[in-house]
Chain A
Amino acid sequence: MYDFVSHVLRRYFEATGWNEQNSYLNLTSSSSAILDFPIPQGISLSISSAPSIPFFTTYKLRALPSLTGSLGYIYASTDPEQPPLDIGNSSKDVRIKQLIERFRLFENPRHPTAKDEVWLNGRRVDTRDYLIYGSMHLPTSRMDALFTTRLSSTWQLIMTAVSTPPRYPISILPSSISASSLAGGSGATTSSSSSVEKSSDLTTNNASASSSSPSSGGAGPPGSTNLQIILQNDTGRWFTEYCYSADDALWGFRVLHNFGTPSSATPTAGGGLTWTTKSEARIDEINPSGEESVAGGGLRGRFSAGAELFFSAVEKSAGLSTGIRFTTLPDPPAAPAPSSGSGTTVNASSNVVSSSNTTTHVSTTTTSPSQPPMTITATLNPMMGHLSTAYAAKMSRDLVASSRFDFNVYSYESQLSMGVEYWLRSGGVRGVGETNLASLLTTPPPSTDSKTYSLREVDRPRAPQEEVGVEGKTESEPPPVPPTPPAETLRGVIKAKVSTNADVSLLWEGRMNNCLVSFGVKADFNPTSSSATRTSRPSSSAYSIQPLKSVGLEVLYFSTANEKVSRA
C-alpha cells in the first residue's frame, strides 16, 4: 500500500497529465507488484488530513522495532483552470485501487498535455505546477524533502533529499569535515537509493539495481545530505531520465522507447478525432489501422525497450541494465463513442484519454474478440549476468497470476517465483457488479442495433433496460443511458508469493471501517538460505529454524476538509 505522500504525488502527476508509468523504472511494475510487494515492518499508524485541498499534513507513528514518528507537510500547486487535486476525499471513500500497488496494463503512451498560457499585459502570468514536501523524523531528526515541478510540457524536474542532523551544528573543525566526507563516500552504496525511497514509490518499484534499499532510520553519517536530482523528459514515444546523486556523485541515465508507428505518419485520423487538439493527440491515434505491433497468436500489444546506465565518480564503478516488455493493449471502455465532436472533454485529460481510446479502437474491437490482459518482460544486467523474465496475466476479473524466472549466467544460480493477486469484493452486490464488470472486461461494447436475444442475456439483471430498448425502437427515442459503472465494491486484495527459495509472503490490504489496513507476513522455510543470506542475524541463531521472518501491520487514515464539511 502506498503511503500518503506517494498517493498525493501520484494524484499530482495525474492532475498535471504526467505519465510516470512510462518510465523505465516501471518496466516490470506489473509483475513486481505481485512478486515483490513489500511487507509492512512492525506496526505503523499514519494519519493525514488536508486543511485546504492542495495543502496536506501527514503524521506517522511507528512501533515495534522502535518507537519513531514523523511529521510532514505537502503543498501542491496545480493549474486553477484544471480540476483540483483529487486524492479521493478520505480513506473511507477513496478508490482502493488507487492506493494499492497492483497489476495494471500500461496506458497508451501519449504526449504530455501543455498548459494553456495565460498572458496579461504582455507578460505570461500563469505559474508552473509544483509540489513541495518536507518531513521531519523523530527522534532521529532526519529530514526528507521533495520538490518537483514541470519545466515545460515534456520536461519535469524532481529533487529529493534526505538529510541527517549535523552533530556539531555551528562549531566544526576542518579535520572532522574531511573525515565525514570520507565516511559519506564510503556509505554511498547504501544511501544512493535511500534518498528516493521516501520521496515516492516512483523510484522504488522498479527493476533497477538501485531499488533494494529498505527503509532505515538513518540515511548516513551525521550531517550528510543525500541530494538527488532527476530530470525527466517524456514525449510519449521516448521517456528519458537524467539523474544525479550528490552524495556519491552518481550519474544516471535511463531511457524507454515505445515501439509503434512513427508519430510523423499519416496525420489524418478520421473525422471522429477532429475534436482532439494537437497537444492531446496520442501517438497511436495517428494511424488507427496499423497502430501497434501484433505478436504471435494474434495478440494486440505494444513492445517497449529501455536501458539504464549508472556511473559513480566516487567509487569508479558503473552499472547497466537493459529490458524489454510486451504488454497487451487495454480494452476500450464500454462507453459510447463521443458524438459530434463537442469540446467538453478537452480539459480533463483522463476523459480525453478514455474517449479517444474508444474512437481509436472501436473499429477493430467490435469485430475481434478481446484478449487476456498480460505483460511479459525480460531484463538483463550484462555486468552482473543477471537475466530475469517475468510474466503476469489477468486470469479472471479478480485473479492475477505472475511468474518470474531469475537466472545468473555466471554462477548459474536460478530462482523461480510465483505469485497471485486476488481481489476481494463485498458480497452484497456481488452479482450485479460481477456481471457488469465482467462484461466490461471481456466483451466488446454492446451495440444496440444488432441485439441478439439469447438465454444468456435474459439472465442478466438488466431486464428494465431491454424493455426500454424494445419500446424505443418504434418511437425512435435516443438510446437508453448506458448502465453506470457499479459502485466500488472492492474490499481489499490478497497477495501471495512463493519462490523456489522456500520463502513465502502473504499480504492482505483492505478497508476496515474508515481506515485502510495492510497486514503482511513473510516466512522463510529454507534453513540453509536463511543462514546464508541473513548475515545480520547472530551466528548462534542462524541454524535455528525460525520460519517467520517478519510480521507487520500498517494503518492509514486520511480525510480532507471537504469530507468534514459534507459530514457536518
Chain B
Amino acid sequence: MAFSEDTKERLVRVVDVTKTVLHYGWVPFVLYIGFTRSTPQPSFIKLISPLA
C-alpha cells in the first residue's frame, strides 16, 4: 500500500511539528518536572536566577 502525496505531506508535517514541539518544549518540560516534584517547591526567582 503506497501513501498518497497528500498523506505523505501530512505525515511530514506532523513529524516536523512534533520535532519542533519537542525541541522547544523539552527544557520547559524538565523545568516543570523539577518544579512540581521537588520538595519544598522553590520560588520562581530561584529558577530564573542562579544567584538568588
Contacts and interface: CB of A to CB of B under 8 A. Distances in A.
Report whether chain A binds chain B. Answer: yes
Interface stretch (A88-96, A162-170, A393-401, A448-456): A162-170
A55 B23 contact: no
B16 A166 contact: yes
Nearest to B46: A51
A251 interface: no
A218 interface: no
A55 B42 contact: yes
Contacts of A134: 26-27, 29-31
Q: Give the residue among A54, A55, A56, A135 with the most B Cβ atoms within 10 A.
A: A55
Nearest to A172: B16
A49 interface: yes
Contacts of A207: none
A53 B46 CA distance: 13
Q: Give the residue among A51, A133, A141, A170 with the most B Cβ atoms within 10 A.
A: A51
Given A72-B27, A177-B12, A170 B50 contact: no
A74 interface: yes
Contact of B30 (A47, A75, A170, A177): A75
Given A132-B33, A136-B27, A52 B40 contact: yes
A491 B46 CA distance: 30
A338 B33 CA distance: 41
B26 A75 contact: no
A418 interface: no
B34 A145 contact: no
Contacts of A135: 27
A51 B23 contact: no
Nearest to B35: A55
Given A51-B38, A172-B12, A163 B23 contact: yes
> Chain B's interface: helix, strand, loop or mixed, by majority?
helix
Nearest to A80: B39
Interface residues of B, number: 31
A327 interface: no
Nearest to B9: A174
Given A74-B30, A135-B27, A169 B39 contact: no
Given A52-B39, A54-B38, A77-B37, A166 B29 contact: no
B21 to A, nearest CB: 10
A220 to B, nearest CB: 13
A169 B30 contact: no
A57 interface: yes
Contact of A49 (B30, B40, B46): B46
Interface in A45-93: 47-49, 51-59, 71-75, 77
A57 B27 contact: no
Contacts of A73: 27, 30-31, 34, 47
Contacts of B37: 54-55, 75, 77
Given A51-B46, A134-B30, A75 B23 contact: no
A166 B26 contact: no
Closest 10 CB pairs of A and B: A51-B42, A75-B34, A134-B30, A55-B34, A52-B38, A51-B46, A134-B27, A55-B38, A47-B50, A73-B30
11 contacts: A47-B50, A49-B51, A51-B38, A71-B27, A74-B30, A132-B34, A143-B23, A166-B20, A174-B9, A225-B22, A225-B23
